[in-house]
Every structure is written in C-alpha cells, then in structure tokens.
Amino acid sequence: MNEIWVNIGNVNNAARLELKAVHGGSGLGVMQLRFHVEASCRKDEAAQRPMWFEGSLYAEGLGTSSGYLARLSVESSPVTLHGLAATTTFVLVADLDHRQLQVIEEHRTAGMKFRLQLTGTTMRDGNLERIGVGSIESEVNQSNWVAILEQMQYRRLLLIELDAPDTNRSAELKVALDFYRDAEMRYLNQEWRLTVESLRQTLAALVGKVADEEDEAADVEAGFKALRREANKTKVGYPPRAEQARRALKFMCDLGAHPETAETTKAEAYSTLLMVGGLLYGWRR
C-alpha cells in the first residue's frame, strides 16, 4: 500500500499520508532517495497541529541483501495541516552512499521495492506526544529506477569497490596486498608518485619478485608477441592474459620509481590504483 493513516491519541485515521512520487538527488558525497508525500487532514484532531515524522527505509526483493537501508527524515519540518480537509506535501529524504547503490545494482533483477517504516510526534497542550503511523510500500519499476539513478548521478561516476582477496590463497598474494594497502595510504596522503611506486611493488610481489627484478620494455613487448602467437594456435584463457596485463601495468608503474614527483599526477595515481585493484581481485595463479 502506498498510503498510511495517522492516529493521534485515541483518534484513529486523523490524517492520511499518501506516497505520490519517488525521485533521486545528489549532495556533497551522498546520494538521496526523495519520497514525495501528500498529507491530508481527515479529522479535527489533526488540524492546526504540527507533526514531525521520521523513520527507516528498507530495501526488499534483493535476496540476502534485503533489509535496512537508511534513516528517513523530513526535509522541512514540522508538517502542519491548517484545517479539516486541508492538504500539504512534504519530502522524506534518505541519504545513501555509493556502496549501498552498488549492492542494489548487483542484486536487483528488475525495479526496486522499498518499505518506509514511519514514526511521528505531535504537540498537544505544549507537550510532545507520540502518534501512530506505520509502513508505506513503494514499488519503482525498472525504467523509473534508471531515471532515479540518473538523477542521483550514479552513472556519471567511475567507482570500483571490491572485496579484498583471500590472503590464504598464496604467500605472494599476501605480500602484494600489503603493498597495495601501502599504496592506498600513500594516495590518501596525496603522495602520487609514491602511490604508483607501491603499486609497482604490488605487481612484482604477485609473482614472488621485487620490483627491480622485473622485465624491461623489450621483455614486455616480447611477452605480448609470444602470447599472440599462442592465441593463433589455441585458446588462451584468462590467467595467461592476466599475466600480460600485470606485466604491462608493472611497466606503467615503473615510472613511479623515478624521483621526479611532478611526473605522476593525481589522475594517474588514481587510475592505476583502480586497475591494479581490479587485477588483484581477479588474480588466479
């Protein structure tokens, strides 16, 4: 149901809340789901009485990832109905982060279904009094959900968040992940060249080497040519192709060993961090 009744004191159905629309929005570091609600006064007990609403937003239909999503708050409080049969509108806002939207996109099969669990407070004789509200269900079809994602500017971002690989897979991977975490810290400290240098160490450690033992440019080129010749004869799977990607990324990161800090920019450090992170996530050797 996209509507709910508000009970005030002993009076049931004093006001009615109806969900009219769902939109998206973006803020500083957050994305927003904005639920537009129409409130209507049905009994005198709800007239001229300020009401404050809040609650919790739940995502449904996402399998094991269903559940609590975010806190709901009214954008402009209080909500006041000035007379019997009067109506007003307000917006319930939920702030989401990029990771939450990524989980939704990984698990939804079509549109989205939300449940808004609301509570409320009103003023009676100068005292705050709890009012009974309840749950509103909201179903957003796939085309509308895509429009909401655009409003939140979700698809305008290049964002990668991956679970860290299991370090028990190999001793080399454990060392590589330690170097990668160092690269992340270097990036947070805005040390762009040192970020790439740590990634250089990461890529060498993946195969049990140190950075200075790795191949020169000619060896990288020769490796690609050999893999192409092999691919012309038989099917070459992901692991040997990933090894060539590792060698190419290592060659790229060799610039980080140079002492000229101006040679590496923030954009280069960040893009390399993402590429190496993706390689670590899928590494099978």
Q: Is the pLDDT of residue 38 over 90?
A: yes
The angle, 0 to 180 degrees and rounded to 10, between the axes of the packed helices 217-231 and 238-253 is 160
- Specify which of 32-41, 144-153, 251-260 reaches the highest per-range mean pLDDT: 32-41
Predicted pLDDT at 235: 82
* Percentage of residues in the chain having pLDDT higher than 70: 93
Query: Distance (Å, rounded) from C-alpha 91 to C-alpha 24?
Result: 12
- Report helix, strand or coil for 105: helix
Residue count (the chain): 285
Q: Is the pLDDT of residue 34 over 90?
A: yes
CA distances in angstroms from 259 to 149, 192, 193, 264, listed in the order given = 43, 12, 8, 10
Q: pLDDT class for 161, splitting at 50, 70, 90? A: low
* Percentage of residues in the chain having pLDDT higher than 90: 41
Provide mean pLDDT across the span 193-212. Answer: 89
User: What does the DSSP 8-state code read for residue 275?
Assistant: H
Predicted pLDDT at 215: 61
Q: Quick: pLDDT tens for 55-102.
A: 999 999 999 989 999 999 999 889 999 889 899 999 999 999 888 988
The dihedral sign for the CA sequence 240, 245, 249, 252: positive
Q: pLDDT class for 136, splitting at 50, 70, 90? A: very high
Q: Is the pLDDT of residue 159 over 60?
A: no
CA nearest 12: which of 4, 23, 3, 21? 4
Predicted pLDDT at 24: 95
Predicted pLDDT at 67: 94
Predicted pLDDT at 37: 95
Query: Distance (Å, rounded) from C-alpha 263 to C-alpha 257?
Result: 11
Q: Is the pLDDT of residue 169 over 70?
A: yes
Predicted pLDDT at 214: 60
Q: Is the pLDDT of residue 231 over 80?
A: no
Predicted pLDDT at 194: 92
Out of 86-90, 97-101, 178-182, 275-279, which region has the weakest mean confidence (pLDDT)? 97-101
Predicted pLDDT at 66: 92
